[in-house]
Amino acid sequence: MKRESRPHWSYSAINQFLRCPLQYYFQRILKLPQPSISSGLVLGSAVHGALAVYHRYLMEGQDPVEQQVRQEFLETWVSKTEEQTVEYKANESPKELMDQGLALLQLYMKQPPPQNVVAIEQRFLVPLHNSDGEYLETPLLAFTDLITEESDTLKVTEFKTAGRAYGDFEVETSLQATCYVNAVVEMTGTLPTVEYTVLVKTKTPKIQRLKTARTEEDLGRLGDVVQKIERAIANDVFFPIETPLNCSTCPYRQPCREWKPDVVSAIDAVDATKPMDAVNPAKAAYTLNGAKSC
Ligand code: SF4
Protein backbone atom coordinates (compact mmCIF):
# COMPACT_ATOMS: atom_id res chain seq x y z
CA MET A 1 0.00 0.00 0.00
CA LYS A 2 1.43 3.40 -1.04
CA ARG A 3 2.23 5.68 1.92
CA GLU A 4 0.96 9.24 1.63
CA SER A 5 3.75 11.73 2.36
CA ARG A 6 1.51 14.80 2.46
CA PRO A 7 -0.05 15.50 5.90
CA HIS A 8 -3.55 14.08 5.89
CA TRP A 9 -6.35 12.81 8.08
CA SER A 10 -7.60 9.25 7.99
CA TYR A 11 -10.55 7.61 9.68
CA SER A 12 -8.20 5.61 11.92
CA ALA A 13 -6.40 8.79 13.08
CA ILE A 14 -9.68 10.63 13.76
CA ASN A 15 -11.12 7.64 15.57
CA GLN A 16 -7.94 7.09 17.57
CA PHE A 17 -7.96 10.66 18.85
CA LEU A 18 -11.63 10.42 19.82
CA ARG A 19 -11.04 7.06 21.55
CA CYS A 20 -7.88 8.01 23.45
CA PRO A 21 -5.96 11.24 22.70
CA LEU A 22 -2.93 9.95 24.63
CA GLN A 23 -2.70 6.83 22.48
CA TYR A 24 -2.86 9.13 19.42
CA TYR A 25 -0.01 11.17 20.91
CA PHE A 26 2.20 8.12 21.51
CA GLN A 27 1.62 6.66 18.06
CA ARG A 28 1.32 9.69 15.78
CA ILE A 29 3.23 12.52 17.50
CA LEU A 30 5.99 10.70 19.41
CA LYS A 31 5.93 7.83 16.89
CA LEU A 32 6.77 5.27 19.59
CA PRO A 33 7.36 1.81 18.13
CA GLN A 34 4.49 -0.63 18.59
CA PRO A 35 5.90 -3.67 20.35
CA SER A 36 2.90 -5.82 19.44
CA ILE A 37 -0.14 -6.13 17.21
CA SER A 38 -3.52 -7.57 18.24
CA SER A 39 -4.62 -10.90 16.81
CA GLY A 40 -7.81 -9.19 15.60
CA LEU A 41 -5.76 -6.88 13.36
CA VAL A 42 -3.81 -9.79 11.89
CA LEU A 43 -7.02 -11.67 11.12
CA GLY A 44 -8.63 -8.55 9.65
CA SER A 45 -5.64 -7.90 7.34
CA ALA A 46 -5.54 -11.50 6.14
CA VAL A 47 -9.30 -11.56 5.42
CA HIS A 48 -9.15 -8.19 3.63
CA GLY A 49 -6.26 -9.34 1.44
CA ALA A 50 -8.11 -12.51 0.49
CA LEU A 51 -11.39 -10.69 -0.23
CA ALA A 52 -9.54 -8.28 -2.53
CA VAL A 53 -8.26 -11.25 -4.57
CA TYR A 54 -11.79 -12.71 -4.74
CA HIS A 55 -13.35 -9.41 -5.84
CA ARG A 56 -10.65 -8.85 -8.45
CA TYR A 57 -11.69 -12.09 -10.17
CA LEU A 58 -15.28 -10.82 -10.24
CA MET A 59 -14.28 -7.41 -11.57
CA GLU A 60 -12.33 -9.05 -14.39
CA GLY A 61 -15.30 -11.32 -15.22
CA GLN A 62 -13.41 -14.51 -14.26
CA ASP A 63 -14.50 -17.41 -12.07
CA PRO A 64 -12.80 -16.97 -8.69
CA VAL A 65 -10.18 -19.62 -7.85
CA GLU A 66 -10.81 -20.49 -4.22
CA GLN A 67 -7.30 -21.86 -3.77
CA GLN A 68 -5.81 -18.44 -4.71
CA VAL A 69 -8.08 -16.68 -2.21
CA ARG A 70 -6.98 -19.05 0.57
CA GLN A 71 -3.35 -18.65 -0.50
CA GLU A 72 -3.59 -14.85 -0.15
CA PHE A 73 -5.10 -15.27 3.32
CA LEU A 74 -2.26 -17.53 4.45
CA GLU A 75 0.51 -15.38 2.94
CA THR A 76 -0.83 -12.20 4.59
CA TRP A 77 -1.17 -14.05 7.89
CA VAL A 78 2.44 -15.27 7.76
CA SER A 79 3.87 -11.88 6.76
CA LYS A 80 1.93 -10.05 9.53
CA THR A 81 2.90 -12.53 12.22
CA GLU A 82 6.56 -12.39 11.17
CA GLU A 83 6.62 -8.58 11.25
CA GLN A 84 5.48 -8.14 14.85
CA THR A 85 4.69 -9.99 18.05
CA VAL A 86 1.01 -10.91 18.06
CA GLU A 87 -1.06 -10.51 21.22
CA TYR A 88 -3.62 -13.28 21.40
CA LYS A 89 -6.58 -13.13 23.76
CA ALA A 90 -6.90 -15.67 26.56
CA ASN A 91 -8.08 -19.05 25.21
CA GLU A 92 -7.28 -18.01 21.63
CA SER A 93 -4.92 -20.07 19.47
CA PRO A 94 -3.36 -19.01 16.14
CA LYS A 95 -4.55 -22.24 14.48
CA GLU A 96 -8.12 -21.75 15.69
CA LEU A 97 -8.14 -18.13 14.52
CA MET A 98 -6.80 -19.06 11.07
CA ASP A 99 -9.43 -21.78 10.72
CA GLN A 100 -12.13 -19.26 11.67
CA GLY A 101 -10.83 -16.80 9.07
CA LEU A 102 -10.82 -19.44 6.34
CA ALA A 103 -14.31 -20.64 7.32
CA LEU A 104 -15.63 -17.06 7.12
CA LEU A 105 -14.10 -16.59 3.67
CA GLN A 106 -15.65 -19.82 2.47
CA LEU A 107 -19.05 -18.77 3.81
CA TYR A 108 -18.77 -15.36 2.10
CA MET A 109 -17.84 -16.96 -1.22
CA LYS A 110 -20.90 -19.24 -1.03
CA GLN A 111 -23.20 -16.21 -0.93
CA PRO A 112 -24.35 -14.45 -4.12
CA PRO A 113 -21.31 -12.48 -5.33
CA PRO A 114 -21.37 -8.68 -5.56
CA GLN A 115 -22.45 -7.39 -9.00
CA ASN A 116 -21.04 -4.49 -11.04
CA VAL A 117 -17.74 -4.13 -9.19
CA VAL A 118 -16.39 -0.64 -9.86
CA ALA A 119 -13.33 -0.45 -7.57
CA ILE A 120 -11.39 -2.58 -5.08
CA GLU A 121 -9.23 -1.08 -2.33
CA GLN A 122 -9.65 2.35 -3.88
CA ARG A 123 -7.50 5.15 -2.44
CA PHE A 124 -9.00 8.65 -2.18
CA LEU A 125 -7.23 11.86 -1.12
CA VAL A 126 -10.01 14.42 -0.84
CA PRO A 127 -10.80 17.67 0.98
CA LEU A 128 -12.89 17.91 4.15
CA HIS A 129 -15.26 20.80 4.80
CA ASN A 130 -16.99 22.07 7.91
CA SER A 131 -20.69 22.86 8.40
CA ASP A 132 -20.11 26.42 7.11
CA GLY A 133 -18.86 24.94 3.83
CA GLU A 134 -15.25 26.07 4.50
CA TYR A 135 -12.56 23.64 3.36
CA LEU A 136 -9.98 22.45 5.88
CA GLU A 137 -6.30 22.71 5.01
CA THR A 138 -5.53 19.04 5.70
CA PRO A 139 -7.20 16.54 3.36
CA LEU A 140 -8.69 13.14 4.16
CA LEU A 141 -7.12 9.90 2.93
CA ALA A 142 -9.61 7.05 2.61
CA PHE A 143 -9.32 3.47 1.36
CA THR A 144 -12.58 1.76 0.47
CA ASP A 145 -12.71 -2.06 0.43
CA LEU A 146 -15.21 -2.42 -2.39
CA ILE A 147 -17.34 -0.11 -4.56
CA THR A 148 -20.18 -1.50 -6.65
CA GLU A 149 -22.96 0.10 -8.65
CA GLU A 150 -26.62 -0.65 -7.91
CA SER A 151 -29.39 1.05 -9.92
CA ASP A 152 -27.20 4.03 -10.85
CA THR A 153 -26.07 4.53 -7.24
CA LEU A 154 -22.60 3.72 -5.97
CA LYS A 155 -22.36 1.48 -2.91
CA VAL A 156 -19.31 1.35 -0.66
CA THR A 157 -18.92 -1.97 1.16
CA GLU A 158 -16.80 -2.10 4.29
CA PHE A 159 -15.75 -5.54 5.51
CA LYS A 160 -15.30 -6.27 9.20
CA THR A 161 -14.26 -9.36 11.08
CA ALA A 162 -15.72 -9.34 14.58
CA GLY A 163 -16.41 -11.60 17.51
CA ARG A 164 -20.03 -10.45 17.70
CA ALA A 165 -22.72 -9.08 15.43
CA TYR A 166 -22.90 -5.29 14.95
CA GLY A 167 -25.87 -3.19 16.06
CA ASP A 168 -27.72 -0.81 13.71
CA PHE A 169 -26.67 2.15 15.85
CA GLU A 170 -22.98 1.32 15.37
CA VAL A 171 -23.16 1.71 11.61
CA GLU A 172 -25.56 4.67 11.75
CA THR A 173 -23.10 6.67 13.89
CA SER A 174 -19.77 5.41 12.50
CA LEU A 175 -17.50 8.20 11.29
CA GLN A 176 -15.86 5.64 9.02
CA ALA A 177 -18.96 5.51 6.82
CA THR A 178 -19.05 9.32 6.84
CA CYS A 179 -15.41 9.42 5.68
CA TYR A 180 -16.21 7.07 2.78
CA VAL A 181 -19.26 9.06 1.73
CA ASN A 182 -17.21 12.27 1.91
CA ALA A 183 -14.57 10.68 -0.33
CA VAL A 184 -17.03 9.50 -2.97
CA VAL A 185 -18.97 12.79 -2.97
CA GLU A 186 -15.78 14.79 -3.48
CA MET A 187 -14.72 12.54 -6.37
CA THR A 188 -18.05 11.99 -8.14
CA GLY A 189 -20.48 14.63 -6.81
CA THR A 190 -23.04 11.97 -5.81
CA LEU A 191 -23.95 10.48 -2.43
CA PRO A 192 -23.22 6.73 -2.25
CA THR A 193 -24.82 4.24 0.12
CA VAL A 194 -22.68 2.24 2.54
CA GLU A 195 -22.97 -1.40 3.55
CA TYR A 196 -21.14 -3.04 6.43
CA THR A 197 -20.53 -6.72 5.73
CA VAL A 198 -19.58 -8.20 9.07
CA LEU A 199 -17.90 -11.61 9.10
CA VAL A 200 -18.85 -12.78 12.57
CA LYS A 201 -16.48 -15.37 14.01
CA THR A 202 -18.91 -16.98 16.40
CA LYS A 203 -18.79 -20.77 16.88
CA THR A 204 -20.99 -21.10 13.82
CA PRO A 205 -19.61 -18.38 11.50
CA LYS A 206 -22.17 -15.99 10.05
CA ILE A 207 -22.31 -12.98 7.76
CA GLN A 208 -24.28 -9.89 8.63
CA ARG A 209 -25.08 -7.05 6.23
CA LEU A 210 -26.09 -3.63 7.53
CA LYS A 211 -26.92 -0.70 5.27
CA THR A 212 -26.50 2.94 6.14
CA ALA A 213 -26.39 6.35 4.46
CA ARG A 214 -25.12 9.85 5.17
CA THR A 215 -26.34 13.34 4.29
CA GLU A 216 -24.48 16.50 3.32
CA GLU A 217 -25.11 17.68 6.91
CA ASP A 218 -23.18 14.66 8.24
CA LEU A 219 -20.20 15.58 6.05
CA GLY A 220 -20.12 19.13 7.47
CA ARG A 221 -20.27 17.72 10.98
CA LEU A 222 -17.30 15.45 10.20
CA GLY A 223 -15.33 18.56 9.19
CA ASP A 224 -16.40 20.31 12.42
CA VAL A 225 -15.17 17.36 14.49
CA VAL A 226 -11.82 17.29 12.68
CA GLN A 227 -11.39 21.04 13.16
CA LYS A 228 -11.90 20.63 16.92
CA ILE A 229 -9.36 17.79 16.99
CA GLU A 230 -6.87 19.99 15.12
CA ARG A 231 -7.39 22.72 17.71
CA ALA A 232 -6.89 20.27 20.58
CA ILE A 233 -3.64 19.00 19.03
CA ALA A 234 -2.36 22.54 18.43
CA ASN A 235 -2.97 23.19 22.15
CA ASP A 236 -1.25 19.98 23.30
CA VAL A 237 -4.46 18.53 24.68
CA PHE A 238 -3.61 14.85 25.06
CA PHE A 239 -4.96 12.79 27.94
CA PRO A 240 -5.69 9.13 28.68
CA ILE A 241 -9.12 7.61 28.36
CA GLU A 242 -8.84 4.46 30.39
CA THR A 243 -11.47 1.89 29.55
CA PRO A 244 -11.12 -1.90 29.37
CA LEU A 245 -12.00 -1.74 25.69
CA ASN A 246 -9.29 0.84 24.94
CA CYS A 247 -6.51 -0.38 27.18
CA SER A 248 -6.72 -4.17 26.88
CA THR A 249 -5.29 -4.07 23.34
CA CYS A 250 -3.18 -0.88 23.66
CA PRO A 251 0.53 -1.35 22.84
CA TYR A 252 1.45 1.72 24.96
CA ARG A 253 0.39 0.55 28.43
CA GLN A 254 3.89 1.07 29.85
CA PRO A 255 4.49 4.65 28.58
CA CYS A 256 0.92 5.44 29.58
CA ARG A 257 1.61 4.49 33.21
CA GLU A 258 4.73 6.70 33.14
CA TRP A 259 2.92 9.65 31.52
CA LYS A 260 2.52 12.92 33.45
CA PRO A 261 0.65 15.99 32.20
CA ASP A 262 2.94 18.74 30.95
CA VAL A 263 1.72 21.49 33.28
CA VAL A 264 3.73 24.24 31.57
CA SER A 265 2.21 23.62 28.16
CA ALA A 266 -1.19 23.27 29.83
CA ILE A 267 -0.78 26.71 31.37
CA ASP A 268 0.20 28.08 27.94
CA ALA A 269 -2.92 26.51 26.50
CA VAL A 270 -5.18 28.10 29.12
CA ASP A 271 -4.23 31.68 28.44
CA ALA A 272 -1.06 32.67 26.67
CA THR A 273 -1.77 36.38 27.30
CA LYS A 274 -1.56 36.11 31.12
CA PRO A 275 1.75 36.20 32.99
CA MET A 276 2.70 32.75 34.27
CA ASP A 277 2.12 33.55 37.98
CA ALA A 278 -1.40 34.83 37.20
CA VAL A 279 -2.56 31.43 36.04
CA ASN A 280 -4.06 29.00 38.53
CA PRO A 281 -2.09 25.74 38.05
CA ALA A 282 -5.01 23.68 39.37
CA LYS A 283 -7.21 25.13 36.65
CA ALA A 284 -4.48 24.48 34.08
CA ALA A 285 -4.22 20.80 35.06
CA TYR A 286 -8.01 20.49 34.96
CA THR A 287 -8.00 21.97 31.47
CA LEU A 288 -5.46 19.42 30.27
CA ASN A 289 -7.15 16.44 31.90
CA GLY A 290 -10.68 17.45 31.18
CA ALA A 291 -10.07 18.83 27.67
CA LYS A 292 -12.18 21.88 28.54
CA SER A 293 -10.10 24.20 26.38
CA CYS A 294 -11.43 22.78 23.14
S1 SF4 B 1 -3.28 2.34 27.98
FE2 SF4 B 1 -5.39 3.06 27.69
S3 SF4 B 1 -5.41 5.18 28.44
FE4 SF4 B 1 -3.26 4.58 28.12
S5 SF4 B 1 -2.75 5.30 26.05
FE6 SF4 B 1 -3.42 3.17 25.91
S7 SF4 B 1 -5.62 3.28 25.48
FE8 SF4 B 1 -4.99 5.28 26.25
pLDDT, tens only, 222-247 = 999 999 999 999 999 999 999 999 99
The residues that bridge with 129 in the sheet, in sequence order, are: 135
pLDDT, tens only, 191-209 = 999 999 999 998 899 999 9
Q: State residue 89's pLDDT score.
A: 85
Decide which of 209, 231, 253 is a domain's last residue. 231
In a domain, residue 110? The reply is yes
In a domain, residue 38? The reply is yes
| Torsion 233-239-244-248 (CA) sign | positive
Are 162 and 30 members of one domain? yes
**Could you tell me the distance, in angstroms and rounded to a whole number, from the CA of residue 55 to the centre of ligand 1?**
37
Are 99 and 190 members of one domain? yes
Are 21 and 62 members of one domain? yes
Are 62 and 164 members of one domain? yes
Q: What is the pTM of this model?
A: 0.86
In a domain, residue 147? The reply is yes
Q: Is 252 in the pocket of ligand 1 (CB under 6 A)?
A: yes
**Could you tell me the distance, in angstroms and rounded to a whole number, from the CA of residue 259 to the centre of ligand 1?**
10
Length of the chain: 294
Are 148 and 266 members of one domain? no
Are 139 and 243 members of one domain? no
Helix 175-188 crosses helix 11-19 at what angle (to 10 degrees)? 150
The residues that bridge with 157 in the sheet, in sequence order, are: 146, 195
Q: State residue 3's pLDDT score.
A: 61
Are 161 and 264 members of one domain? no
Q: Is 32 in the pocket of ligand 1 (CB under 6 A)?
A: no
In a domain, residue 50? The reply is yes
Decide which of 231, 250, 271 is a domain's last residue. 231
Decide which of 206, 231, 256 is a domain's last residue. 231
For all residues of the chain together, what is the average pLDDT? Answer: 89
Domain extent for 41? 9-231
d(CA 20, CA 28): 12
Number of domain units in the chain: 2
Q: Is 27 in the pocket of ligand 1 (CB under 6 A)?
A: no
Q: State residue 277's pLDDT score.
A: 39
Q: State residue 84's pLDDT score.
A: 86
Q: For residue 35, what is the domain's CATH number?
A: 3.90.320.10
Ligand 1 pocket test, candidate residues 17, 24, 32, 247, most atoms within 8 A of CB: 247
In a domain, residue 4? The reply is no
Are 181 and 255 members of one domain? no
Helix 39-59 crosses helix 94-110 at what angle (to 10 degrees)? 30
Are 119 and 212 members of one domain? yes
Q: State residue 72's pLDDT score.
A: 98
d(CA 255, CA 264): 20
In a domain, residue 146? The reply is yes
Whether the CB-CB separation of 39 and 92 falls below 8 Å is answered with: yes
Are 214 and 263 members of one domain? no
Ligand 1 pocket test, candidate residues 15, 23, 254, most atoms within 8 A of CB: 23
State which amino acid sits at residue 170: E
Q: State residue 294's pLDDT score.
A: 29
- Tens-binned pLDDT, residue by residue, of the chain (294 aa): 556 678 999 999 999 999 999 999 999 999 999 878 889 999 999 999 999 999 999 999 999 899 999 999 999 999 999 988 998 888 889 999 999 999 999 999 999 999 999 999 999 999 999 999 999 999 999 999 999 999 899 999 999 999 999 999 999 999 999 999 999 999 999 999 999 999 999 889 999 999 999 999 999 999 999 999 999 999 999 999 999 999 988 989 999 999 998 755 544 444 444 443 333 333 333 233 333 332
- What DSSP character marks residue 278? G
Helix 263-270 crosses helix 281-290 at what angle (to 10 degrees)? 90
Are 121 and 248 members of one domain? no
Are 213 and 242 members of one domain? no
Q: Is 16 in the pocket of ligand 1 (CB under 6 A)?
A: no
In a domain, residue 1? The reply is no
Beta strands in the chain (DSSP E): 9-10, 36-38, 85-87, 117-126, 140-150, 153-162, 193-200, 206-212
In a domain, residue 2? The reply is no
